[in-house]
Amino acid sequence: MPNPTQLFQIEECPDLYVDACVCDETRNLVFLSAWARDTALQEFLARLTLGYAENGLDQFHIIQDGHSIPVFPNADQLEKRTTRQFRGTLFGSLLHLWLFDKRCTHPDRANHFAYALLEQGADPHHALWPLITETCPLPLLQHWREPVLEVLVQHQMLQPLPGALGAINAWRLNLQLDVLEPTLGDLIRRGRLNTTTQATP
């Protein structure tokens, strides 16, 4: 795992330096944290919206240990946040960019889909449960947390995303109600889920 302070260059925009990046299994961009001067940052963001013939970027590559790792950004699905840091350095003011899939901050309730970004070392069970209850249209009681999480992981409705760079972990929540609803019903009938409040570890 790379050191949290390690920076990675973007091959197509060498003046941008990435300290964290998360993609899904097909290398679609979920989250990017990068540093650059204002002009380099604006050029990068503009190229994400342009077509290939206009020198746009429908993909870019992060250089890690001499390897070029492809990343596919879907500009229509991405949101950005910027903040100015380190004023008056030798290279001018540096900006910090966060570029992320909208579903990292707002679950897609219509399709029961969301992403969660967690710091390394965070307990995913505690961190993910509020997102699950917010995204799921079925009523979930607080003390159902452990058996419900077990069901979601078992049926691959809750999965960690592989290959994150930097001090970050990401999870994908993709609820399949046609599987989840009968499975929870079965657990209720078997007595594993009930309305009696129990202490949650």
List per-residue pLDDT tens for the chain, 201 residues long.
Answer: 445 468 999 999 999 999 999 999 999 999 999 999 989 999 999 999 887 767 888 999 999 888 999 999 998 899 999 887 655 555 567 899 999 999 999 999 999 999 999 988 788 888 899 999 999 999 999 999 999 999 999 999 999 998 789 889 999 999 999 999 999 999 999 888 888 765 444
Domain membership of residue 30 (yes or no) is yes
**pTM summary value:** 0.85
pLDDT value of residue 88:
57
Asked if residues 17 and 34 have their Cβ atoms less than 8 Å apart, the reply is yes
Domain membership of residue 2 (yes or no) is no
- Boundary of a domain, candidates 72, 102, 132: 102
b/e code 160-184 from CB counts within 10 Å (16+ = b): ebeebbbbbbbbbbbbeeeebeebb
For residues 136 and 123, membership in a common domain is answered with: yes
For residues 51 and 76, membership in a common domain is answered with: yes
Asked if residues 136 and 149 have their Cβ atoms less than 8 Å apart, the reply is no
pLDDT value of residue 1:
42
Q: What's at 150, amino acid-wise?
A: E
pLDDT value of residue 54:
79
For residues 47 and 93, membership in a common domain is answered with: yes
For residues 75 and 122, membership in a common domain is answered with: no
For residues 84 and 52, membership in a common domain is answered with: yes
Domain membership of residue 84 (yes or no) is yes
Q: What range does the domain containing 181 cover?
A: 107-189
DSSP 128: H
For residues 85 and 12, membership in a common domain is answered with: yes
For residues 54 and 15, membership in a common domain is answered with: yes
For residues 14 and 96, membership in a common domain is answered with: yes
CA-CA distances (angstroms) from residue 170 to 46, 73, 140, 149?
26, 17, 23, 16
Our CA dihedral for 3, 1, 150, 117, rounded to 10 degrees, sits at: 40
Domain membership of residue 85 (yes or no) is yes
For residues 82 and 151, membership in a common domain is answered with: no
How many domains does the chain divide into? 2
pLDDT value of residue 162:
87
